[in-house]
Amino acid sequence: MAKAKLRIGFLGIGAMGLSHVNQFHVKNAARAECVAICSRNEANIAKALAVAPKAKVFRDERELIHSDLDAVVISTPNSTHAVLALETLKAGKHLFLEKPIGITADECRAVLAAAEASDRVVLVGHELRYSPFFQKMKALVDAGEIGRPRMVWTREFRGPFQPKSGQWIQDARLSGGMMVDKNCHHFDMMNWWVNAGCSGTGILPVQKDSASTKTGGTPVPLLLPRVRPRRVAAFGGSAVMHVVDAAHQVNDHSTVSFEYDNGVLGTLQVCLFARDFPEEELEMGIVGDAGSLQTRISAIEILQWKRGTNQKTPIVHQVHSPAGEGWGNHLGFDEIHTAFLDAVLDGKPHVTSVRDCLDGSLLAFAAEESIKRSSTIQL
């Protein structure tokens, strides 16, 4: 007997929400269906109904949450994430929660408490963890290929935010700030690699490399202890983006330095007026005491250097990792939807619980606060 489809309601059906509707209702049609949407934007409603014509339309988020469905996808403005997540768990529904978890530490901790008191699946939308590309990075670190991690970094030079309803993404009161909205992804990745905030190894089955140069030697697998971010110092401002009033305008460039409680160091540089889409650049990496790994995302390659080997060129790991849909084509976007269905319908583990992802948000909050205070923030 075939399993019943997971009946899903969608809160927020802008560009991101519509991508979620398409992923579940079309790409995973055998296991899921969109039965309800909630929006006050007629154009967005029409787009969603073109994909899922039988979906019931709600104008009130709580009415959808308490209607006859199994799960809720939240992709509303950031300032509403926590309150809607709490209501969803109160109603006993499974939850796919877009990042960030909330826009304050207190909001995130409230969602954490509710999620861990519930028997429902709660998956946070940090899709990069589900990409075979970033899974390969994690696997190489855990295999001891670069020795013990000592530094992590992210450099993102890109174009401006895409327009949102009411320009909420430009207002720090509604988005939490530039780094809370977008760089929580990258803080989460860096945390994951050094085992900060993880409840386990975080490794899912990884597809075999389409081509990978053998590294030689015998790396020693690592069992990294769980660590926490300890302090953050950041600088930033708004040089180009002037969309809302200056008092609430999010920053458009920043540089961040942070330290974990085991001495590992991290940096993030981000600029939203550096390059135009699609010529944007995102580089991430990790340095250990025996070598380093660096992303070359444009080619879906990982570059590896081994210390003390006099390498002239990097070892290249080529990974099959298809781009997801939507603006930016984030790696892992297809896979995270499959992971949610696997977790709900089949009881399989996933790697983006609220506890797994909490420290990525806390780092972003601390970085934003450091810029405001012009001081180092202790976590």
Question: Does any domain span residue 374?
Answer: yes
Give the CATH number for residue 133: 3.30.360.10
Residue 334 inside a domain? The answer is: no
Give how many domains the chain has, as a whole number: 2
Q: Are residues 92 and 217 in the same domain?
A: no
Are 134 and 89 part of one and the same domain? no
Q: Which of 60, 89, 124 is the last residue of a domain?
A: 124
Give domain status of residue 337, yes or no. Answer: no
Residues contacting 50, CB < 8 A, separation 6+: none
Same domain, 117 and 134: no
- Model pTM? 0.92
Residue 175 three-state SS: helix
Statement to judge: residues 39 and 155 lie in one domain? no
pLDDT for 373: 97
Residue type, 213: T
In a shared domain, residues 69 and 135: no
C-alpha R_g of the chain: 20
- Domain hosting residue 296, numbered range: 127-329+351-378
Domain end marker among 76, 99, 124: 124
Same domain (yes/no): 177, 283 = yes
Mark whether 101 and 168 lie in a shared domain: no
User: 212 by DSSP, 3-state: which?
Assistant: strand
Q: 253 and 111 in one domain?
A: no
Given this model, what pLDDT does residue 197 score? 66
Bond from prior residue into 219 cis (ω within 30 degrees of 0): no
Q: Give the DSSP letter string of 92-159.
A: T-EEEEPSPS-SSHHHHHHHHHHHHT-SS-EEE--GGGGSHHHHHHHHHHHTTTT-SEEEEEEEEE--
Say what the pLDDT of residue 165 is: 83
Candidates 12, 363, 369, 65; CA nearest to 191 is 363
Measured CA to CA in angstroms, residue 9 lies from 94, 145, 294 at distances of 10, 43, 39
Strands 32-38, 56-58: parallel, antiparallel or unpaired by DSSP? parallel
**338 within domain boundaries:** no
Query: Do residue 299 and residue 372 come from a single domain?
Result: yes
d(CA 282, CA 185) in angstroms, rounded, equals: 12
Q: Are residues 48 and 171 in the same domain?
A: no
| CATH number of the CATH domain containing 54 | 3.40.50.720
Domain assignment present for 222? yes
Tell me, what amino acid is at 361?
A: S
Average pLDDT per block of 10 residues along the chain, 379 residues long: 82 95 97 97 96 98 98 97 98 98 97 98 96 95 95 95 88 96 95 76 44 51 80 97 95 98 96 85 95 93 94 94 63 95 97 95 97 96
On whether residue 339 sits in a domain, the answer given is: no
Identify which of 64, 102, 121 has the alpha carbon closest to the alpha carbon of residue 357: 102
Query: Could you say which of 124, 148, 174 is where a domain stops?
Result: 124
The partner residues of 253 in beta bridges, in order of sequence, read: 237, 271
Coil/strand/helix, residue 46: helix
Q: In what order do the strands lie in the sheet with 281-288?
A: 211-212, 315-318, 301-306, 291-296, 281-288, 149-157, 265-271, 253-260, 229-237, 377-378
